[in-house]
Amino acid sequence: MTPRSLSETLANPPNFTYIVPDQCHDMHGTTTCSDFDGLLQAGDRYLQEIVPRIASSSGFTSHSAIFVVWDEDDFSSNFGCCSSLPMLGGGHTLALVIASHSSHERSATPMNHYSILRTILEGFGLAPLGHSNDADVPSTWDLL
């Protein structure tokens, strides 16, 4: 499949779109990107541009959601969330769920990346993939 531009995707979106920023906009960076503080600012600017663009497109309907997920922390706290969930580890990171019909919700339910996978699978009426990590975690439906 030929990659489509973001404009093409937003004009005629498929049922599922997964967007991953490049390393100069994902706040991780490479040696070809600017310094750490510059990376954070570049990532913030990227989100400030892309989230409103997606949310204001005709493809963003009452059945749409945008997940913005940070995949790691700096290990400076002991607020790890998921001691009772499979695939321990990670730390306390932020995940934002943006939906056109939801208000400012906050969940106290411990979740991890598999929670998002479970939500996607359930949204398409699919069963968990059979791996315990996606079968034994809560979904993110309480945020939608």
Domain boundaries, the chain: 1-60, 76-92+103-144
- Give the Cα separation of 112 and 104 in Å (integer): 20
Distance CA 131, CA 137 (A): 11
C-alpha to C-alpha distance for 59 and 13, rounded to whole angstroms: 6
Burial 39-51 (b: 16+ CB within 10 A, else e): beebbeebeeebe
Per-residue pLDDT tens for 78-99? Answer: 555 555 544 445 566 677 888 8
pLDDT band at 48 (very low <50, low <70, confident <90, very high): very high
pTM of the predicted model over 0.85: no
Token pair 């990227």: residue? 46
